[in-house]
Structure 1
Amino acid sequence: MLNNLKIGTKFNLLLILVFIASICVSGAILSSVLQRRAQNEVSSQALLLMKTMNSVRTYTQNRINPLLAPQLETATAFIPETVPAFSATEVFENFRQTEGNENFLYKEATLNPTNLRDKADSFETQLVERFRRESKIKEIVGFRSLPQGDVFYIARPLGITQQTCLRCHSTPELAPKSQLITYGTKNGFGWKLNEIVAAQIISVPSKEIFNHAQGSWSLIMGLLIAIFTIVLLIINFLIKKTVIQRIKNIERIAQRVSTGDMTADFDEASKDEIGGLAAAFNRMKSSLKIAMDMLNSH
């Protein structure tokens, strides 16, 4: 079937195949690059927020807790500002109140928390248990679907590294009275030194960033298709002008010579391959004319 096609048609088919293959390969590579870039962007946001929350925790532990801890025994209600987890959570809630940050999430998901708002759900419980089983893992990242949309999360283990933390979490008998008044004696006890009790989780909305990456991919692919199309048309025009038409002209003159018209010349001023072909046809025509003249003279 291909043998019956003209050279121009064959060349166009070849260009189209190259064009389609180039677009497919370019699209796949571009998609991979943009997806990786989007993931790096959400990961950078999550890491920055994680560092910020850890700074709040450190400040609370080193500066706020020493000032307020002595009041826990005499206060009529527990002072939650002494707890690093509470401070970090409250600061992050203030951050979420600003426009555009509503879907960012922070939680110190705990298996047995004093404050039940920190209670780990089933997904978060799996993270904590994995940190417990695999002590070498210091960070887990991934994507999770929530009611507000898909989010990228970073989770890190939280363990009891200081003996002072056990004052509030070992047994109710050792806990400050104000803590028992506020939270009771059922939750947040039985913790042990060096035990992983929670997972610190930052969740960053990813849908908008990945949609932007998809939009960028569509725009760039549209531009690439337009550029490839223009290049294809230009190449097709140049091939037609510099090759196809000249070959057709040689074919037309060869048809005239084959019917006995020896006045037709293969006019080609160019010194390229087609010009050389025309010169060869002219020599062949001259040889044919000499041979016919010799036959006619006998």
Structure 2
Amino acid sequence: MNPLNRRIGSQLVVVWTATFLLVALAVVISVSMSLRALARQEAREKAEIIATRSLATHFYFSDELKPSVFKLSRETKGPDYFDPVWMSSTYAVRDIQRRFSELVDQQYYYKECAIDARSPQYEADAVERDFLQRVNADPTLRKESLVREFDGAPYLVVLERGEQMVEACMPCHSDPSLAPKDLVAKYGPTRSFGREIGDYTSAISVRIPLAQAYESADKTTRLLSAVLVGIFGLSLSGIYFYNRRVVFVPARQYEAQAEAMSAAVVKEHSANEELAALNQELQAMNEELMSEVSDRVAAEEELGEYKSRLEELVSMRTSDLERAMSEAERANAAKSLFLANISHDLRTPLNSVIGFSDVLISGMAGEMNEEQVRQVRMINDSGKYLLALVNDLLDLSRIETGEQRIAPQDVALPEVIASVEGIIEPMCEDKGIEFVCEDCDLDVTMHTDERLLRQLLLNLLSNAVKFTREGVVRLRVGTARSTDEVLFDVIDSGPGIASDELPYVFEAFTQFTRDESAKPDGAGLGLAISLRIARLLGGTIVASSTLGKGSVFSVRLPRVAPASAEDSNTPLT
């Protein structure tokens, strides 16, 4: 086959393949984004209808029923009587929503939240609290929608401001001494009092699950991708057969004819007239071939133009991507700085809460009964848990913002492991499980950051203890002479991790319920911080697990930590 023809055919296939793939990718991405946006819009409309309907019920109850109900109750039951079933609009709306959700087959979550809610289960979370504060600062703000994740699943959340405090609300929400005694006896004298006229103190929060809608959109996208792949295969086959029939076959025919004519010239060398005729025919064929070559050259020039246009398009897309990545990096840096600042601000009041509760528990402020001690211990435990969470956030933000620096020094490994054992063994004894340390007396000296090494081992071992209900938590220490590394294996006999969850185990705020009877506590930061510490020390962590048998977290650290280790951070999400 002529090399020119072969090159032209190959270039046609390459150009068609690149063009088709770019167009197909753009179509698939556009369809996927459009379907997801449509799913969010439908969820938003459904949530707004639910919220508006509940708010209308509120207004009807407060404006039409409550005045008559309170007047009737004062005349028949006295001023201190209070029954939320028929005297509280909030109670009535929640009960209507509960009954409605039982009658219809609709998946949604309804919550009427408030700051300092009368019932703690309806207390506004951080997002809802922020919305209520902005509503009171800006009376024109009525509602907003956003996408949030709960238990790892996406939800479309619509927040709509609730009723505004008016004169009729003040007896039950201003001063406890003015409220019905039955109300104070039922809810206590502290929560939902101190309100002022004109305040917006509650908001309606409606959550619509998006997981099923997203799955349907992804299914449609996958189907579209399969159809495009089929079209691509058929088109490529058509191009191949077209080139073979229109380009390559005639070329081979021309070559065969030229060879036959050359052979005839050799055989009929003596026949001048025949040679002349053959010579003329060859000249005609040569002109025809030259014309075809010219056509091929023109085709190559046209293909070159297409190639230039594609390169220009790729350059434009690359510039857009670089700008987007730069903006994402700036946003991530701002987020990490915010986490660091807010963590510092939270630690001081938390330490005060823990300190004062310790004083109360010790009896230094006076004796308390058993129920008071139990409740104060709950405050103390919650404060310690929140302080640990804030410390984890602070550690993670320091690493992501580049503030965390390693301080390498000569570290005797047996001493570090002994200090870790002193913390982990009591934890294992409390849970009735065994702690085993293999080769922990290995005489190894590392040049690394001692504090970060100890924190890495404590994070992994305490995580193993948390998920192990019975059996053994094992720490195995070894060395790899070929790479001059120190190896640590943390092995537990817990419930294990599913194979589809294992790739996400080191992501921040990620938790998996490995044992339904023992829900994990914490915020899912321990393994994320451990991975970042290992990278700061120049090492790696690999997780492996068998469901129902346990998990193994293998750490490889260089004996000598690098002066500046590369930290491939994953953004905190």
Q: Which residue of 2 aligns with 1:215?
A: 219
Return the letter of the residue paired with 2:200.
I
For residues 282 and 233 of structure 1, what CA distance do their matches in structure 2 show? Answer: 27
Once the two structures are TM-superposed, the CA of residue 201 in structure 1 deviates from its matched residue by 0.9
**Most deviating of 183-192 and 69-78:** 69-78
Shift in CA distance, 38/282, structure 1 to aligned 2, threshold 3 Å:
closer
Once the two structures are TM-superposed, the CA of residue 104 in structure 1 deviates from its matched residue by 1.7
Q: SS at the partner of 1:173?
A: helix
Shift in CA distance, 246/5, structure 1 to aligned 2, threshold 3 Å:
closer
For residues 65 and 265 of structure 1, what CA distance do their matches in structure 2 show? Answer: 109
For residues 195 and 212 of structure 2, what CA distance do their matches in structure 1 show? Answer: 40
Matched, 1:230 2:238: no
Matched, 1:146 2:153: no
Task: Give matches, 1:56-135, under 5 Å.
Answer: 56-73=57-74, 74=77, 76-97=81-102, 101=106, 104-135=108-139
For residues 192 and 216 of structure 2, what CA distance do their matches in structure 1 show? Answer: 43
Q: Which residue of 1 aligns with 2:19?
A: 18
Once the two structures are TM-superposed, the CA of residue 90 in structure 1 deviates from its matched residue by 1.3
- The answer (yes or no) to whether the contact 1:64–1:81 under 8 Å persists in 2 is no
- The answer (yes or no) to whether the contact 2:55–2:162 under 8 Å persists in 1 is no
For residues 128 and 278 of structure 1, what CA distance do their matches in structure 2 show? Answer: 87
Q: Which residue of 1 aligns with 2:168?
A: 164
For residues 67 and 147 of structure 1, what CA distance do their matches in structure 2 show? Answer: 44
For residues 49 and 151 of structure 1, what CA distance do their matches in structure 2 show? Answer: 15
Once the two structures are TM-superposed, the CA of residue 179 in structure 1 deviates from its matched residue by 2.3
For residues 228 and 283 of structure 1, what CA distance do their matches in structure 2 show? Answer: 34
For residues 89 and 254 of structure 2, what CA distance do their matches in structure 1 show? Answer: 89
Per-residue CA shift, 1:101-160, capped at 9, x if unaligned?
4x5211121112233332223342233223334444332321222238321101122352
Return the letter of the residue paired with 1:94.
R
Q: Which residue of 1 aligns with 2:177?
A: 173
Return the letter of the residue paired with 1:146.
F
Matched, 1:201 2:205: yes
Q: Which residue of 2 aligns with 1:281?
A: 288
Once the two structures are TM-superposed, the CA of residue 191 in structure 1 deviates from its matched residue by 0.9
Q: SS at the partner of 1:53?
A: helix
- The answer (yes or no) to whether the contact 1:170–1:190 under 8 Å persists in 2 is yes
Per-residue CA shift, 1:81-111, capped at 9, x if unaligned?
333322221122223335754x521112111
Give identity over the alignment, percent.
17
Q: Which residue of 1 aligns with 2:31?
A: 30
Shift in CA distance, 260/241, structure 1 to aligned 2, threshold 3 Å:
same
Return the letter of the residue paired with 2:102.
Q
Larger C-alpha radius of gyration, 1 or 2? Answer: 1
Return the letter of the residue paired with 1:114.
R
- The answer (yes or no) to whether the contact 2:165–2:201 under 8 Å persists in 1 is no
For residues 126 and 290 of structure 2, what CA distance do their matches in structure 1 show? Answer: 90
Once the two structures are TM-superposed, the CA of residue 177 in structure 1 deviates from its matched residue by 3.8
Return the letter of the residue paired with 1:50.
A
Compare relative contact order (CA 8 Å, sep 6+) and give the higher one, 1 or 2: 1
Per-residue CA shift, 1:188-218, capped at 9, x if unaligned?
1111122221222111111111111111111
Total equivalences in the alignment:
272
Q: Which residue of 2 aligns with 1:189?
A: 193
Return the letter of the residue paired with 1:82.
M
Return the letter of the residue paired with 1:80.
V
Shift in CA distance, 70/259, structure 1 to aligned 2, threshold 3 Å:
farther
Q: For the aligned residues, what is the CA RMSD?
A: 3.3
Shift in CA distance, 282/201, structure 1 to aligned 2, threshold 3 Å:
closer
Q: SS at the partner of 1:58?
A: helix
Q: Which residue of 2 aligns with 1:290?
A: none
- The answer (yes or no) to whether the contact 2:165–2:197 under 8 Å persists in 1 is yes
Shift in CA distance, 253/137, structure 1 to aligned 2, threshold 3 Å:
farther
Find the partner of 1:155 among 159, 163, 171.
159
Q: SS at the partner of 2:205?
A: strand
Return the letter of the residue paired with 2:178.
L
Once the two structures are TM-superposed, the CA of residue 255 in structure 1 deviates from its matched residue by 4.6
Q: SS at the partner of 1:26?
A: helix
Once the two structures are TM-superposed, the CA of residue 251 in structure 1 deviates from its matched residue by 4.0
Once the two structures are TM-superposed, the CA of residue 244 in structure 1 deviates from its matched residue by 3.5
Return the letter of the residue paired with 2:132.
V
- The answer (yes or no) to whether the contact 1:72–1:177 under 8 Å persists in 2 is no
For residues 150 and 139 of structure 1, what CA distance do their matches in structure 2 show? Answer: 20
Per-residue CA shift, 1:243-263, capped at 9, x if unaligned?
433344334434544666639
Per-residue CA shift, 1:220-278, capped at 9, x if unaligned?
22112212322332243234323433344334434544666639979xxxxxxxxxx97
For residues 210 and 148 of structure 1, what CA distance do their matches in structure 2 show? Answer: 14
**Most deviating of 89-98 and 67-76:** 67-76
Q: SS at the partner of 1:108?
A: strand
